[in-house]
């Protein structure tokens, strides 16, 4: 379709094009739906656990090295939501955790980001190995943020002070 538009004395030819939207449902045909899409059943896990790399065994790791590694792993998850949730949780709880709790937190961080996030905000039920654990319960309380605190990624200099106090 062409039409003429007058701008002052010049006449400009404008060509317009009509675009049609697909009449089919894009969600039904999507081979890679987003998490929590309406077409993905709640219990479905779209990630095959055999595709995950096995956790690295660190039998001789000191507690200070473990804490420092967990600080890094909570800050560098890959999704901003997980980074913010886990790093602020670690900032509050990491220094006071026992060795057993630190090892359990380390195992939790081996899980995929979106799984941890959805378990923490109660959008999905955790698997049996995490259901009812005190660590996940603490993470859920932290995720609720009942005090409505404005949370930001903790600065690393704050970490070094809190971790050195726990040594």
Instruction: Name the residue with tokens 């030819």.
Output: 13
Domain ranges of the chain: 62-166
DSSP SS3 for 15:
strand
Identify the CA nearest to 73 among candidates 87, 57, 55. Answer: 87
Measure CA of the first residue to CA of the last residue in the chain; give whole Å.
75
149-160 pLDDT, tens digit each: 888 888 887 656
What is the tens place of the pLDDT at every residue in 56-102? 888 899 999 999 999 999 998 888 889 999 999 999 999 999 999 99
CATH code that applies to domain 62-166: 1.10.150.250
| For residue 33, pLDDT beyond 80 | no
Has residue 118 got a pLDDT over 90? yes
- Position 131 scores a pLDDT of 92
List pLDDT tens digits, range 51-62.
Answer: 778 888 888 999
């Amino acid at each position: 379709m062409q039409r003429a538009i007058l701008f002052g004395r010049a006449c400009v030819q404008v060509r317009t094009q009509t675009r049609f939207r697909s009449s089919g449902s894009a969600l039904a045909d999507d081979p890679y739906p987003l998490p929590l899409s309406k077409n993905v059943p709640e219990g479905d896990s779209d990630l095959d656990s055999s595709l995950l790399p096995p956790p690295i065994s660190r039998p001789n790791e000191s507690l200070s090295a473990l804490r420092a590694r967990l600080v890094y792993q909570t800050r560098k998850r890959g999704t901003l939501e997980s980074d913010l949730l886990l790093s602020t949780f670690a900032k509050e709880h990491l220094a006071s955790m026992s060795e057993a709790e630190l090892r359990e937190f380390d195992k939790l961080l081996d899980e995929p980001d979106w799984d941890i996030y959805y378990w923490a905000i109660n959008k999905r039920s955790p698997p049996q190995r995490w259901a009812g654990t005190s660590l996940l319960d603490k993470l859920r309380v932290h995720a609720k943020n009942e005090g409505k605190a404005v949370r930001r990624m903790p600065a690393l200099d704050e970490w070094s002070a809190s971790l050195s106090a726990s040594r």
